[in-house]
Amino acid sequence: MAISMVAPVLGQFALLVMMIAERRWMFLCLVIPGLIGCLASAIAAMAAHRRRTVSEASSDTGQPPPDGRDAMRPDAARCATLRPRLESLLGLEPSRPDHLWRRIARNWHEASEAQRIRKQTVLDGMHAVAVGESDKGRTTTLNLPKAGPHALVAGTTGSGKSVLLESWCLSLACRFPPSMLNFVFLDFKGGAAFRVLHRLPHTVGFVSDLNLDHAVRALRAIETELRRRERVVAEHHVAGTDELDDPPPRLVVVIDEFHALRQQLPDYMTQLVALASLGRSLGMHLIACTQNPMGQIGGDMKANIGLNICLRVRDPLQSTELLGVRDAAFISPQHPGLAYLFDGERRMAFRCAMPVSATALTHGCDHARRFLNEIEATPLFSPPLPNMVEWPGLDTVSKRPLDAVSLGLLDLGVRLEALELPLDSGNIAIVGPERRGKTSVLGLIRRQLAARPGLEIVDVTVSGTGYERTTTMGSAPWHEGRRSSATRAEDAPPPPPRSTRIWLVDDADALLDPLYTDALHDEFMRTLADPHTPVVFALSSPRHLRFPDHCTIRVLFPTGDRTSDMMAGIPSQALSSCTDDDWRTPGRAMLLIHGQARLIQCFRLAEE
């Protein structure tokens, strides 16, 4: 670099000396301007190189350049001396827990009353919540619906992003009750950022990067909620949820480490783009946090983000991306929580307020909720299916003869609910390879049915020489079974009067084989065709199973082989949504009922 700058100057200087030695004065007049030009260019290039080197060094260390030309602005330097506390800005006394929750309850009551009497201007002002202090000691407030409706927060590790998020969300929670405000927290930094916030009564969902399946459910739930609110607004012929008589609570989706979400789940960014585009009128807001804002937020999202907050960043270009100036790149690492705010109208420095005790504020919100009899926020989504669900016992199952049986948990894609398998909607086939749980499911059904009085249970199992049938009534056997090869249907004693009958058949593959000659085969096939007698049967292979002739409900344990599972009846789309763990987890099956395919996790009996 130095040679390229000095060589032209030396060449011109050598030419100058030569002209003087040869006394060529006219040529000397021509060489002197060239020498001056080369010298000026070299000096300018060296100065530019020095400035570039200093700028890179300051970006790496966060320190201002030695010449102080790009040092922190005076207002930021004054903010660096502040130590604001969130409770003081909110008018709360952390040393008095009774005062804490009472003040929160009063804030909630005022907000609810303003919404009830439709004072929109008052509500709009309430959304301006305290998050810190400016250089003049004034409280810095953020109004997400007005200035946003979405926000982008940037800052390198240790800059104070987590403190800002915590204070902002706590300030909102202390202002509005769960009936008016809900949170969804998506943490892609290991769960530390929202370790306290997710306990707020306003929280309807919390996810960390330790479980990407959970994050996928959260994004699907956000999209589902967005579409639901769109339908509600359209049905009431209003422009937004604020115009509804009973508006849903505002939903604030907070994402820490947005770049990690973008990298790990790129196919699900469309849900967040839709939220950014449509959220304003639907009362849904996004707060996205990232270490590097450059290239992480697409243009379609950036166009709808009106509130930018930049803490300390490593590169001046990152600061310019959010603020339009380089100032945030020169914040010292010694001042975490120092930030710049730009909302399109004002660009200002402020110091984030830190709560004395975030846990105390969370407990205060919960106490206020109980005092005001506020209904706790309904979760927007649930975790994925667990790997094991213990059977709760007979105390929770129905006692009606042909009512549904409790089988486990049903995954609706966003939420989990208890699976009640109907017994009066047709035959049920349980299909799966060995050691996947089909016999256990049949035993689970058998145990529940045995406790129902008035129900006749025909239990068919495989013995050493054929099928054996045992009939029980209620809780006590009334006819001991004999081998089916030696028993004809007309020889069986008549069932008790006014009884309800159900068949439970294990290893029914041979009975469905048209070439099987066992005496029980014909009776089994007649029973399958009888709409008044439900049959629950287990198979190892769907080869001889005909749907819907033999059954209307299927419980299929996937094999992991896509072709085999599709031939068994599992739709391709349902298979695509499954993970490798779904094929390996005992008791994990696919329920096909009413034209839908849903994942289920069957109960595990205690003795298994």
CA distances 109 to 98, 115, 141, 175, 478, Å, are: 17, 10, 21, 9, 65
Residue 466 corresponds to which amino acid? G
Is residue 160 part of an annotated ligand binding site?
A: yes
Residue 120 corresponds to which amino acid? Q
Residue 453 corresponds to which amino acid? P
For the record, the structure tokens of 150 come out as 């979405």
Distance CA 506, CA 520 (A): 13
Question: DSSP label at 88?
Answer: H
Is residue 540 part of an annotated ligand binding site?
A: no
Is residue 306 part of an annotated ligand binding site?
A: no
Is residue 399 part of an annotated ligand binding site?
A: no
- Which among 591, 569, 577 is positioned nearest to 407, based on CA atoms? 591
Residue 31 corresponds to which amino acid? V
Residue 337 corresponds to which amino acid? G
Given the structure tokens 């930021």, which residue do they identify? 76
Is residue 362 part of an annotated ligand binding site?
A: no
Q: Is the dihedral of CA 547, 553, 557, 558 positive or negative?
A: positive
Given the structure tokens 């749980």, which residue do they identify? 437
φ and ψ at residue 183, rounded to 5 degrees:
-120, 145
φ and ψ at residue 452, rounded to 5 degrees:
-105, 115
Residues making up the chain, counted from first to last: 608
Q: CB burial class (10 A; 0-12, 13-18, 19+) of residue 590?
A: buried
Is residue 344 part of an annotated ligand binding site?
A: no
SS3 content of the chain, % helix, strand, coil (to 5): 40, 25, 35
Distance CA 292, CA 331 (A): 15
CB-side neighbour CA atoms (13 Å) of 187: 21
Given the structure tokens 């984030």, which residue do they identify? 352
Q: Give the three-state DSSP class for 498.
A: coil
Is residue 587 part of an annotated ligand binding site?
A: no
Helix segments in 117-211, DSSP class H: 120-126, 144-147, 161-175
Q: With helix as H, strand as E and coil as C, how does 308-342 read? A: EEECCCCCHHHHHHHHCCCHHHHCCCCCCCEEEEE
Distance CA 327, CA 340 (A): 8
Which residues are CB-contacts of 178 (< 8 A; sequence separation ≥ 6)?
201, 202, 249, 369, 374, 375, 376, 377
Distance CA 350, CA 108 (A): 27
Q: Is the dihedral of CA 235, 236, 240, 244 positive or negative?
A: negative
Is residue 156 part of an annotated ligand binding site?
A: yes
Walk across the sheet containing 305-310 and list its strands: 139-143, 128-134, 347-352, 338-342, 305-310, 150-154, 284-290, 250-256, 181-187, 203-208
- Report the binding-site residues for ATP: 155-162
> Which residues make up each annotated binding site?
155-162
